[in-house]
Every structure is written in C-alpha cells, then in structure tokens.
C-alpha cells in the first residue's frame, strides 16, 4: 500500500482486502504512518464511559470524533468533562448520519447492544461492543456473519485475555507445568449496580455483567466448552436503582455455570449480585484468589480478579512453597479493549481478543439459562481459535 494513500482509499482498500483475510489477519488494514488515527464514536455515555474515554485519549492512534446518548445531556457533559472536542448526538441515526468515523464503541444498556451493533455494521462501521455482543447467540452470530459479508470487524468485551497474568497462566498450562488438568473454578460478585435498572431487567443479569469475565478466562485457558449445565436464581426480587426507583428483578442475580471442556476437564463459575465484597468495584488491594486451576502436578491461583489482577500463585512443588508470579500488569487495564482493537486496526496487527471467543461466551450464558429452565445439559456448537497464548 502506498504510504500516501488517502483515508477514503484506505477504507475502500480495507473493505476489499478484508474479503480474503477477514477474522484471520489484519495485516492489510494497516494505515500509512502519516494517517495513523482511527476515528471512533462512543454510544452510551454513562458510568463505564468514564473509564473508556480517558483510556482512548491515551492513544495517539485514536481520535474520539463523536459521543452519543439517548440522554443527550450525558454526551454533552462527557464532552466537556474530558475535553473531547467531539460532536454530540441524541440517537444512533443522527450519529451514523453525522461526523464520519471508522469504529463505533457500544457502551449502552446491555439489551440495546445487538440492535445498535447491527445498525453500525449496516452503515459500514467496525464495532467494539461492551458485553454482551448481542442478546442471544443467534443474534450475535448474525452480527459476525454480517461483519464478514460487509468486510468489517466486530469485537466484544471483556479484555481479560490481554492481561500478562492470563498469558502467564496460559503458558504454564501449555508448558505442562500443572501436569494433567482436571478442574477449575472462577467466582465474581458484588452487591450489584445501583445506578441503572437494565442490570436487573430481562436481558440483564449477573452472568452478562459479571460471570462473563470468568467464563472468558476459563474458556480462554482451558479451551472451548462442549456442554453446559447451569442453575440460576433471583435472590432479591426487588432492587432500588437511581434511574427508575424500585424495580422488579427479572434477570438472574445468582448463577452457577458448569462447563465441560475437552479431555475430561470440568470448570465452574459462580457469579452474582449478592456477594459481599469489602473491595466493591476496586480490586487493587484484593488479595484473595478468584480463579483456580487444578492439575495432577500443579495448581494456579489468580490473585484479585481476572479483570484487574495482582499476580498468579503457582504451586507445583512438593518441597518448595507456592510462588507468586507476574505481579506487574504491564499497563493492562480492563477498559483497554476498544483502544487495543482500534490500534490493531490502525497497525494491521491481529489483536489477541477475537470475536469467536466473545460469541462462544455468549452461547455459554444462553445455554446456562436454557439448562436452568429445562433441567437439561446443553450441548454447544461454537468454537474459537485456541490456545490463545
Ligand atoms: N459501569 C461499569 O463499571 C462497567 C464496567 C464494565 C462494563 N460495563 C458494561 O458497560 C455497559 C454500560 O454500563 P454502564 O454501567 O455504563 O451503564 P449506564 O446506565 O451508566 O450507561 C448506559 C448509557 O447508555 C445510554 N443508552 C441506552 N440506550 C441507548 C441507545 N439506544 N442509544 C444511545 N444511548 C443509549 C443510557 O442513556 C446511559 O447513559 C454495560 O454493558 C455494562 O455491562 C460497565
């Protein structure tokens, strides 16, 4: 590609080049050095945008050109608060018809993700979506198929596979340091969000909000799950939230997910909105482990949470005490996903995060609910490229 190709030429080039290499290589997407800035638009300017906007602003390769929220004051407020100097819009139609951009970042209520991501792809935009990618596996699969057809990219949170602690655990497993693997466990909970009702409404729940991290970590480490058994429940039938007052809890606020992987490995995730945790949403000082992996000659324990970890304990000696490794997160933060995939589009380098993995996690969450409602074990169809590290 010429170093002086125009932005329009670049976008046309990426559209045609994607046909051969979509979902495998981003090499042909690389921008020439004098045009290395991806224009992004953020839709949903609530709580999590306070983490995304500053992180995106740390990247020289990314420029936030638009902010959108159906509560338009929020877009305007974030624009001022973070000195973004973006255009602001009150809905996706106005956003897509306004300032041109290359990638949409979806940070809205979970229930709106699928619909918004579809509109963005249809309008020719790449997408990074907060979890979940869509409300159901079939809706998510249709998005990935649409992206392929349109020669675009879509990715979904979480970004847990990016942490050096994930890489350490994956390499330890792949190098046989745990011997023959058999079992693993993950847990993540707190006492539930207090600001928005959507977390408790149909399509919300503790699985897509919290369990999703551990499911991504455990499948990322152990490989795709082949079958699921699950139990979910509502422990607190009512919640008080800032935007709607007292609401009925419809989506599960308590979930246990049992996953069967290859070679007889079984893992388990428990998540919920009723877990006392004195650390709340801050994990920096958390010293307990949230992920455990057991083999016949070694065990791993991830300290803190998989989205903000403080190291990994490897215990694989009969004579030496267990050792803490990889305390340093080397710049990894959980809110980095959009920045990293955006930069990968600019550089033409495939990111570690891949959409098939997000789709697999979505299928697991749906299967857990199906297992709860039918009492059955549910076989899965989706896979993703593995091992990831
Ligand atoms: N808050 C966190 O710390 C956090 C952390 C990680 C991930 N997430 C995820 O981020 C997403 C958003 O969570 P949040 O806590 O920021 O919620 P929030 O309620 O604070 O913000 C959501 C915003 O989206 C807007 N919105 C809803 N529908 C819209 C639409 N159709 N078009 C434009 N704007 C729309 C709302 O008006 C609101 O301002 C969820 O998927 C959540 O799971 C949140």
| Bridge partners, 238 (sequence order) | 248
Establish whether the linkage from the previous residue to 387 is cis, with ω within 30° of 0. Answer: yes
Query: Do the beta carbons of residue 110 and residue 132 sit within 8 Å?
Result: yes
C-alpha distances (whole Å) from 381 to each of 260, 355, 361 are: 13, 15, 12
- Rounded mean pLDDT, 73-91: 98
Q: What is the pLDDT of residues 287-324, one digit of tens each?
A: 788 999 999 999 999 999 999 999 999 999 999 999 99
Rounded Cα–Cα distance for residues 75 and 86 (Å):
9
User: For ligand 1, is residue 72 a contact (CB within 6 Å)?
Assistant: no
User: For ligand 1, is residue 119 a contact (CB within 6 Å)?
Assistant: no
Q: Give me ligand 1 centre to Cα 108, in Å.
A: 4
| pLDDT at residue 18, as a whole number | 36
Alpha helix segments (H runs only) across 71-182: 72-81, 92-97, 113-122, 137-150, 164-174
Number of Cα atoms under 13 Å in the Cβ half of residue 82: 23
C-alpha distances (whole Å) from 68 to each of 42, 47, 174 are: 6, 14, 43
User: For ligand 1, is residue 336 a contact (CB within 6 Å)?
Assistant: no
- Rounded mean pLDDT, 333-349: 96
Phi-psi region of 296 (alpha: psi -120 to 50; beta: other; left: phi over 0): alpha
- Rounded mean pLDDT, 201-221: 98
- DSSP per residue, 39-85: EEEEE--STTHHHHHHHHHT-TTEEEEEEE-SSHHHHHHHHHHTT--
Beta carbons within 8 Å of 289's beta carbon, 6+ residues apart: 301, 302, 303, 304, 313
Classify residue 208 by its DSSP letter: I
Residue carrying the six token digits 């869509």: 134
Higher pLDDT among residues 26 and 18, named by residue: 26
Q: Is the dihedral of CA 338, 159, 364, 384 positive or negative?
A: positive
- Atom nearest to 48 CA in ligand 1: 16
Rounded Cα–Cα distance for residues 185 and 348 (Å):
36
Confidence check: pLDDT of 386 > 70: yes
Rounded Cα–Cα distance for residues 359 and 136 (Å):
9
- Rounded mean pLDDT, 142-157: 98
Beta carbons within 8 Å of 22's beta carbon, 6+ residues apart: 147, 148, 151, 153
Output the six-digit token pair for 276. 């006392």
C-alpha distances (whole Å) from 93 to each of 63, 68, 69, 119, 202 are: 21, 10, 11, 9, 25
| pLDDT at residue 35, as a whole number | 60
Confidence check: pLDDT of 376 > 50: yes
User: For ligand 1, is residue 110 a contact (CB within 6 Å)?
Assistant: yes
User: For ligand 1, is residue 370 a contact (CB within 6 Å)?
Assistant: no
Confidence check: pLDDT of 339 > 70: yes
Classify residue 102 by its DSSP letter: S
Q: Give me ligand 1 centre to Cα 255, in Å.
A: 22
Q: Give me ligand 1 centre to Cα 44, in Å.
A: 5
Query: Do the beta carbons of residue 42 and residue 64 sit within 8 Å?
Result: yes
Of 36-40, 51-55, 102-106, the one with minimum mean pLDDT is 36-40
Which residue's alpha carbon is nearest to atom 10 within ligand 1? 107
Query: Do the beta carbons of residue 142 and residue 284 sit within 8 Å?
Result: no
User: For ligand 1, is residue 44 a contact (CB within 6 Å)?
Assistant: yes
pTM for this model (two decimals): 0.93
Q: What is the pLDDT of residues 94-135, one digit of tens each?
A: 999 999 999 999 999 999 999 999 999 999 999 999 999 999
Q: What is the pLDDT of residues 238-248, one digit of tens each?
A: 999 999 999 99
């Amino acid at each position: 590609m010429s170093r002086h190709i125009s932005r329009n030429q670049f976008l046309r080039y990426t559209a045609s080049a994607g046909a051969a290499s979509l979902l495998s290589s981003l090499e042909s997407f690389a921008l020439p050095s004098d045009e290395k800035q991806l224009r992004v638009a953020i839709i949903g300017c609530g709580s999590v945008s306070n983490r995304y906007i500053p992180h995106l602003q740390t990247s020289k390769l990314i420029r936030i050109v638009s902010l959108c929220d159906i509560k338009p004051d929020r877009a305007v407020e974030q624009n001022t608060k973070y000195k973004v100097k973006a255009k602001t819009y009150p809905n996706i139609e106005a956003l897509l018809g306004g300032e041109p951009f290359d990638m949409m970042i979806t940070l809205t209520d979970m229930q709106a993700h699928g619909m918004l991501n579809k509109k963005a792809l249809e309008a020719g935009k790449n997408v990074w979506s907060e979890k979940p990618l869509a409300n159901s596996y079939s809706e998510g699969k249709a998005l990935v198929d649409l992206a392929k057809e349109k020669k675009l990219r879509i990715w979904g949170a979480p970004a847990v596979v990016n942490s050096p602690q994930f890489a350490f655990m994956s390499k330890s497993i792949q190098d046989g340091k745990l011997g023959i693997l058999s079992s693993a466990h993950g847990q993540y909970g707190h006492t539930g969000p207090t600001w928005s009702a959507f977390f408790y409404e149909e399509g919300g729940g503790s699985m897509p909000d919290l369990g999703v991290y551990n499911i991504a970590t455990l499948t990322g480490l152990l490989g795709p799950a082949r079958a699921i058994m699950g139990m979910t429940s509502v422990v607190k039938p009512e919640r008080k939230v800032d935007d709607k007052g007292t609401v009925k809890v419809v989506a599960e606020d308590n979930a246990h997910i049992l996953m069967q992987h290859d070679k007889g490995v079984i893992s388990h995730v428990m998540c919920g909105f009723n877990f006392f945790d004195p650390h709340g949403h801050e994990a920096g000082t958390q010293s307990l482990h949230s992920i455990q992996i057991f083999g016949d000659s070694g065990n791993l324990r991830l300290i803190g949470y998989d989205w903000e970890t403080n190291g990994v304990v490897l215990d694989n000696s009969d004579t030496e005490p267990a050792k803490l490794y990889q305390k340093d997160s080397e710049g990894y933060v959980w809110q980095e996903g959009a920045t990293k995939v955006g930069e990968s589009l600019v550089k033409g380098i495939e990111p570690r995060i891949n959409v098939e993995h997000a789709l697999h996690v979505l299928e697991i969450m749906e299967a857990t609910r199906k297992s709860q409602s039918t009492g059955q074990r549910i076989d899965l169809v989706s896979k993703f490229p593995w091992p990831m590290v």
